[in-house]
Amino acid sequence: MSETGEQQTNNWPDQLVRYRTFLVVATHGVLFAIALLVAFLVAYNFRLFLPVGEGHETWFSDLFLPLLAIAVPVKLFVFHWMGQYSGSWRYVSIRDIYSVIWASLAGTFVFLISYFLLDMGSVWLVGEALIDRHTIRLFQSAVFLTDWAGTVAFVAAGRILIRFYYEDIQPQRSTNLTRVLIIGAGDSGEAVLRELLRMRRERYECVGVLDDDVRQLHGRIHGVSVCGRTKDIRRICEELEVQEVFIAVPHPTPKSIRALVECCEGLGVLFRTVPAVTDVLSGRVQVSRIRDIGITDLLGRAPVELDVDVIGAQLQGRRVLVTGAGGSIGSEMCRQIAEFSPAHLILVERAENPLFEIERELRQKYPALEVVVLVADVGDRLRMERLLRDEKPSIVFHAAAHKHVPMMEGNPGEAIKNNVGGTAVVANLAVEMGVEKMVMISTDKAVNPTSVMGCSKRVAEMYVQTLSAPGRTQFVTVRFGNVLGSSGSVVPIFKRQIAEGAPITVTHPDMERYFMTITEAAQLVLQAGAMGRGGEIYVLHMGDPVKIVDLARDMITLSGLRPGVDIDIIFTGIRPGEKLFEELSFVGEDIGDTAHPKIGIWKHRPGDADAIRAGVTRLTELADSATISELRTELAQLVPEYQSPESTEKPSLPAKPSPINAAHPK
């Protein structure tokens, strides 16, 4: 065969595409003719040459053929007018069938009008066929209804057959399909299953559906059995050799997702979830957009409800400055603040690379926002003084800090200079420059601290409280625990270890931590900052603590691996400065309620302002000259609860974290 001929043969699908409209119209014309023919056959008892006139006229030659010349063009025009030739038959849906019904009804109605026009005349000429008044009155009116039903049936059947061909008849079935189990037999589950069935030759094979609704049990959806309840997931995954589980439940809670994941621990099953319920209900779910279940789905909580009016009143049209703007919390603070349209957003950060990244992101997402980028160290008073004088911020969010506990144990002077000295510089300048409000971000490690980092943050809390006075700058402190996914935190470390196939390192089997998402933390900081009037320490309700070893097992399971088989977990021992568990308030002191259900206020003992200021001055003066032991001793002088290695009498730790979550249950 010549190259040209071979090329023409190989491109026959392109030829079909080129003549698609002609083929679609021609197919509809044939289907309309068949529908009308069937209508006449039904009306005249399937007697093809039954006489209908005074002579030898038959309905086929004297009624059907002339009216066919009218019915087909009329319906072709109506279907074109109603856009019936542009849809893809391969993806026909119930909505498409509805449109066929309406188009058929409109076509039949116009056909009916044509009939009455014929009936009003004495003789009509259609082609070469004459229809006289007597003959046309022998026309069976039931033809109209039957013709409409036939048009719907044949056109819909034609489209459904095309879809059936692509989904069930077309060859090239893959032999290496991923076996999928769907959780949820409702609308979301049905939509996902329908999409899986359409694409199954490419990747997936659905082997079953689970649902806790007893009315759904032992039923079938698109031929797939609802084979059990969610409590049976482990047994069914083993019996059906499931490789992936798709969670198609509207608004699944982290607790319910975690229960499913823990049930399947050790099976090597991957978990995925539908990206958005609205996408499912609209029928536009794409299997390629179904995302993996992440650790945030297990540990996250319900979305934060913000009082946007209060926050907007504080931020909109104002000049807002964020220190530590390149860090995990600082950068998220910038994103959240940008949503409220401040007049200027001033980013202060001493590390240029993360500052560059957040600046680029903000300028791209908020082109109308005035972003000011300043490289500065918060401990540099001269630089910060010039900066605040030039920019004149109304509100300062202070997120700059050293946060790595074991590292700061070996570098206490740096923790003091940054966490204490830097905070003191920013706070003092805020008062001098007439800043309206400063919101300081603190940590649960400041409660009964056992680390230099935690103790330095507690000293910073105490210091800013001494500056808060009526008619001056309002100082508000917000305290919370670990943030999921922040740089240097446990989650990205575990992810990297799993990706490398290395054992996951956990310090102690009983170690617990509170977790919240970066977005939730930043939003609650904004809310607490807007609520504060000066001198408060707000505590974010962190939910229940999570054992780090359980977190490690969950992350291994979510990766489709088996804890202790594919990835080992090894215990390395508690590092310097670490606790087995964190606390959010001191023993004997309480957390009061606020207007927001996720924010409490710490009812603390007032400190001696003069002693605190003198102690901070001495600490910062000794930061570069004193030994590690001497600096820890100085910290203990300011924070009696600090349990340093040099302490001779350490106050005993409570058996469990203090009662914020008991007083404020989830």
Catalytic residues: 445
Q: Which amino acid is at 39?
A: A
In sequence order, which residues have a C-beta less than 8 Å from that of residue 630 and are 6 or more positions away? 622
Place of tokens 């003992």: 605
The partner residues of 348 in beta bridges, in order of sequence, read 323, 374
**Structure tokens, 661:** 């979550």
In sequence order, which residues have a C-beta less than 8 Å from that of residue 568 and are 6 or more positions away? 503, 504
Q: How far is CA 246 from CA 33, 179, 279, 411, 633, in A?
A: 46, 11, 15, 47, 55
Q: How far is CA 589 from CA 528, 583, 592, 601, 603, in A?
A: 20, 12, 10, 11, 6
Gap between the Cα atoms of 381 and 255, Å rounded: 47
SS3 of residue 160 by DSSP: helix
Q: Which amino acid is at 16?
A: L
**Strands 591-593, 512-513: parallel, antiparallel or unpaired by DSSP?**
unpaired
Closest CA to 322 of 283, 364, 281, 378: 378
Gap between the Cα atoms of 16 and 29, Å rounded: 18
Cβ atoms of 492 and 461 within 8 Å: the answer is no
Gap between the Cα atoms of 212 and 197, Å rounded: 23
The partner residues of 220 in beta bridges, in order of sequence, read 225
Gap between the Cα atoms of 240 and 235, Å rounded: 9
**Strands 129-132, 123-126: parallel, antiparallel or unpaired by DSSP?**
antiparallel
Gap between the Cα atoms of 419 and 402, Å rounded: 6
Cβ atoms of 347 and 334 within 8 Å: the answer is yes
**Structure tokens, 598:** 């996720």
Question: What are the helix and strand counts (H, E) for the chain?
Answer: 27, 24
Quickly list DSSP for 628-655: HHHHHHHHHHH-TT---TT-SSPPPPPS
**Structure tokens, 552:** 């490690």
Gap between the Cα atoms of 338 and 345, Å rounded: 7
Place of tokens 């063009």: 73
Gap between the Cα atoms of 105 and 151, Å rounded: 9
Distance spanning both ends of the chain, measured CA to CA: 75
Q: To 5 degrees, how large is the angle CA 298–CA 301–CA 305?
A: 160
Closest CA to 339 of 359, 365, 364, 361: 365
Please provide the size of the chain in residues.
666
Gap between the Cα atoms of 540 and 38, Å rounded: 73
In sequence order, which residues have a C-beta less than 8 Å from that of residue 28 and are 6 or more positions away? 75, 76, 79, 84, 85, 155
